[in-house]
Amino acid sequence: MTTLAGRSALITGAGSGIGLATARVLAAAGARVHLSGLEAAALRDAAAELGPPATWSVADVTDPAAVRAAVRAAVEAGGPLDVLVSNAGISGPIAALTDYPDDAFEQVLRVHVLGAFHLLKYGLPALRDGGSVIINSSVVGLTADPGIAGYATAKHAQVGLMRVAAMEGAARGIRVNTVHPGPTSTAFQTAIETAATGRDPAAAAAVFDGMIPLGRHASPDEIARVIAFLASDDASFVTGATLTADGGMSI
């Protein structure tokens, strides 16, 4: 199994779903994890489940001061960072471009693009040379579907940001990559699927399974293990990569 013994990681959107699964996998691999997110109760419960040295703090990734404070809290708790995981996200509405609400488009970009930018801007100075940054994009960071103008644009934009950061970080041996999960079984994805299909969660999930060559959703743990791989020395020559974990959906 991948080892992250002695490493220190900061994860955004860590109170649920893929972020929480990532915290669990990184901690199981030996890392000290700092969980950042919006909901104090969820973060407190997750940190308690993981036990010391897991720590947490509330930060809205769209707020630069909050992200700076989260980085500071992580460093105070666990020392200089080795791993940054930009995972916080929202899906936004499903609507044709001509009906897509302006404010929702802006908010989806703020969370994913500005959020990842803030984590890089304030996290990179706190990252040890040789560290690893993983941005959790999406299969629709490489492909598209109708109705998801905000989400697909935001997830594509994260690739551009990753590429700049990979170029700039290379001099310090810092690797920066994006992960592109396909449909993954979380409440977030169920909401997208029911809205997109107008069906109940099980029927909606079956429709999506039909679009995935492997014929099923990922578990959050399966995506977390890909993130752990990129965080680890097993990926020591991997930077600037767009790594799909989508059951073949983007083939």
Ligand X SMILES: NC(=O)c1ccc[n+]([C@@H]2O[C@H](COP(=O)([O-])OP(=O)(O)OC[C@H]3O[C@@H](n4cnc5c(N)ncnc54)[C@H](O)[C@@H]3O)[C@@H](O)[C@H]2O)c1
Residues tagged active-site: 151
From 15-23, 164-172, 196-204, 233-241, span contacting ligand X (CB under 6 A): 15-23
Q: Binding residues for ligand X, how many (CB under 6 A)?
A: 26
Which strand (E) or helix (H) includes residue 25? helix 17-28
- According to the binding rule CB under 6 A, does residue 13 interact with ligand X? yes
Decide: is 61 part of the binding site for ligand X (CB under 6 A).
yes
Nearer to ligand X, 3 or 56 (CB): 56
190: contact with ligand X by CB under 6 A: no
| Integer CA distances (angstroms), 49 to 13, 43, 192, 208, in order | 16, 10, 28, 32
Question: Are the C-beta atoms of 175 and 166 separated by less than 8 Å?
Answer: yes
Q: Does 232 bind ligand X (CB under 6 A)?
A: no
Contact 43, 119 (CB under 8 A): no
Reference 246, options 210, 216, 206, 224; nearest CA is 216
- Alpha-carbon separation of residue 82 from 43, 74, 128 (angstroms): 21, 11, 6
Considering only residues 4, 7, 11, 15, which one is a binding residue for ligand X as defined by CB under 6 A? 15
The token pair that represents 62 in the structure block:
């769209």
Of 69, 100, 143, 188, the residue at the interface with ligand X (CB under 6 A) is: 188
196: its two tokens: 């997109």
Residues 74-93 that bind ligand X (CB under 6 A): 87-90
Instruction: Name the residue nearer to ligand X (CB basis): 15 or 169.
Output: 15
Asked if 136 interacts with ligand X (CB under 6 A), we say yes
What DSSP designation does 81 have? E
When asked if residue 243 is in the footprint of ligand X (CB under 6 A), the reply is: no
> 91, 154 in Cβ contact below 8 A?
no
Based on the shown chain and the rule CB under 6 A, indicate whether residue 18 belongs to the binding site for ligand X. yes
Using the rule CB under 6 A, which residue among 92, 131, 169, 181 binds ligand X? 181
Binding site for ligand X (CB under 6 A): 12-13, 15-19, 37-39, 60-62, 87-90, 111, 136, 138, 181, 183-184, 186, 188-189
